[in-house]
Chains A and B, each alone.
Chain A
């Protein structure tokens, strides 16, 4: 069954739709990084990385805290649960639809025999 869901699924989807942002998440999966450390892993300019980080923060996937002058980013995977739930709902939807198809066709077959 498919239910209508807006946030936070869509912000999570949008956040992880971009390959650079996915790489950032993979990086943070290992351990927290400072913004500088993250930027050092990419050829992209630092302002561009900051922009990606802002989007990831607004989606709740990255949390930051200040440590002196550095900002340390870490991963919060919780919003991704929505993505997983959404996929599971689609699975249910299809299993329900296929069962409907089977019941319909086999019942029709019986009718023809009778």
Chain B
């Protein structure tokens, strides 16, 4: 696990001892995704629908923190098995939720696949206001990390 998140983008990597295609299937196949996504009381996913084609819709639902039901839905943007999967992400648990973008890059080497997750646009409430975000969040972080300067 190697989190290198900056500004409003979350990037995480994990190495899995399996072929990329195997992982791609686990990400996109509803029967498989419900087997690994979340655990009881921690975002447990019980249902998924997936129309795997560019522009096709997907959704998943289950029980979040404290058993509270959640739904996330979106649309597939890029599908290049087994290397790339991009879809939009719209959660129900956030008031005024905004659509963000989730990207999975799978790189297989000697039987080990590096899975890189990029979740971007998390605080971008409109496409046009995106400019300037990185700087803003950087100094916000500064304030948060050094409260003495408040």
The reply to whether B129 and A80 form a contact with Cβ atoms under 8 Å apart is no
A-chain residues with CB within 8 Å of residue B68 when the two chains form the complex: 4
* CB contact between B64 and one of A2, A6, A101 (< 8 Å): that residue: A2
B-chain residues with CB within 8 Å of residue A22 when the two chains form the complex: 132, 136
Tally of chain B residues near chain A (CB < 8 A) = 51
B-chain residues with CB within 8 Å of residue A103 when the two chains form the complex: 36
The reply to whether B119 and A90 form a contact with Cβ atoms under 8 Å apart is yes
Chain B's closest residue to A84 (CB) is B144
Which residues of B in the span 1-20 have a Cβ within 8 Å of any Cβ on A?
1, 3, 5, 8, 10, 12, 14-18
- Interface SS of chain B: mixed
The reply to whether A100 and B38 form a contact with Cβ atoms under 8 Å apart is yes
Complex Cα gap A22–B14 (Å): 35
The reply to whether A95 and B12 form a contact with Cβ atoms under 8 Å apart is yes
Q: Could you say which of B47-55, B75-83, B91-99 contacts chain A?
A: B91-99
- Interface SS of chain A: helix
Residues of A bordering B, CB below 8 Å: 1-6, 10, 13-14, 16-19, 22, 25-26, 29, 76-78, 80-81, 83-84, 87, 90-91, 93-106, 108-109
Residues of B bordering A, CB below 8 Å: 1, 3, 5, 8, 10, 12, 14-18, 22-23, 26-27, 32, 35-39, 42-43, 64-65, 68, 70, 91, 93-96, 115, 117, 119, 122-123, 125-126, 129, 131-132, 136-137, 139-141, 143-144, 147, 150
- Ranked nearest first, the 7 interchain pairs of A and B with the lowest CB-CB distance are A104-B36, A17-B125, A77-B143, A100-B36, A98-B14, A84-B144, A4-B93
Q: List 29 A-B contacts (CB under 8 A).
A: A2-B70, A3-B93, A5-B94, A10-B95, A17-B129, A29-B139, A77-B144, A78-B147, A80-B140, A83-B140, A84-B140, A84-B141, A87-B5, A90-B10, A90-B119, A94-B12, A94-B117, A94-B119, A98-B115, A100-B36, A101-B27, A101-B36, A102-B14, A103-B36, A104-B32, A105-B16, A105-B18, A109-B17, A109-B22
